[in-house]
Structure 1
């Protein structure tokens, strides 16, 4: 059974998107637009994340790796934009929508996971994530007079393997997809899987609430969230997969 809790942040429309198809589930966290949100058609990030989610549903295939599925979904959306948006190829890559994502595929005997950027997965008392993104978060936490300028400068380094501070992230050209972190583990003993955005990770400072197997649609979970909601103005989203009894 799949359950979801999502809440819009205070700065913009909800740019967290979640979805599933068959035995595969995901949470996508669209990156805050730093160079405008109307280069494509307005609310670019939200619409693009939904388009990628819809494309993922078409590419769910147990024979493909999770990274490959994501890559083909991104390329589908890129191809659509290239044909429908005049001057698309003239837009600098770093100005286009980017994202972090976690994906889980539940098989009969094992669970496959994938992470790119700062979303997280929690299962069986452990967090699974793309730790390589930590240095980007640390970079953006530097004490500078113009924080927005630092964030824009950081965004310009995305998917640049030739720069010492370059980093991999989800983008429409799909170049970062194969650099995400992935793995698998035995399904035995796992009753709940939680996928969540970085905003939710900030609110869930104490992961013991997840260790207890809490239902994200239960009032006690909502009460916990509201108590700690002040920790971020970002969108918050968590998708729960309940495996017990299946």
Structure 2
């Protein structure tokens, strides 16, 4: 059973997206555009994460690694833009849409997981995520007068392995995909798997509703979200994959 919940933030259109195909599920969180959102025809971030989600449906399979599947999905969307947008290759990479993503693929005995950026996965009382992105969030929290300038400076370091402060993130060229965190766990004792954006992570601060295995369409979950929604102006998105157990 799969359920999903998403709510637009206050600053822009919803740039989160969720999806699934067969035994694979994902949540993608588009990064706020800092240099404009109209290099690819307008509303670039929302449009791009939706295209990548659609591409993941086409490339989902049981043989390739989750990183490979994401890479091919990204490259297929990049190819589409390259054909449609004159001068695509002249656009600086840091101006193009980027994103964080988490993916889960379930098999009979195991759950495979993948994370790139600051989305998270919660299952059997454990959070799975790309911890390497913590230093980027910390960098962006510096107390400076011009926060936009700081965030732009950080964004320009994306997928730059030659800079000491460079970091890996999802992008159309797919270069960061192989640097995501991944692993697998036994599915034996897992009742539900939750995948969610960083905005939802802020709202679900103590993880109590997930610890207690509540379904995301339950009144308890809804009340919890409304109680803590004011903690962030960001989009909030969560997908729940229930493997076993009754509805709560």
The 3-state SS of whatever aligns with 1:11 is coil
Q: CA deviation at 1:208?
A: 1.8
TM-score (norm. length: structure 2): 0.98
Indicate the residue corresponding to 1:160 in structure 2.
160
C-alpha distance in structure 1 between counterparts of 2:82 and 2:6, whole Å = 31
Indicate the residue corresponding to 1:61 in structure 2.
61
In the alignment, does 2:181 pair up with 1:181? Answer: yes
Indicate the residue corresponding to 2:202 in structure 1.
202
Q: Which runs of 5+ in 2 are unaligned?
A: none
Indicate the residue corresponding to 2:2 in structure 1.
2
Indicate the residue corresponding to 1:229 in structure 2.
229
The 5-angstrom pairing of residues 1-246 of structure 1 reads 1-244=1-244
C-alpha distance in structure 1 between counterparts of 2:164 and 2:46, whole Å = 30
The 3-state SS of whatever aligns with 2:138 is helix
The 3-state SS of whatever aligns with 1:20 is strand
The 3-state SS of whatever aligns with 1:210 is helix
Structure 1 residues 97-154: Cα deviation after superposition (integer angstroms, max 9, x where no partner): 0000000001000000000000000000000000000000000000000000000000
Q: Which runs of 5+ in 1 are unaligned?
A: none
C-alpha distance in structure 2 between counterparts of 1:211 and 1:162, whole Å = 40
RMSD: 0.9
TM-score (norm. length: structure 1): 0.99
Runs (4+) of structure 1 exceeding 3 A deviation are: none
Instruction: Report how many aligned residue pairs link the two structures.
Output: 246
Q: CA deviation at 1:245?
A: 5.4
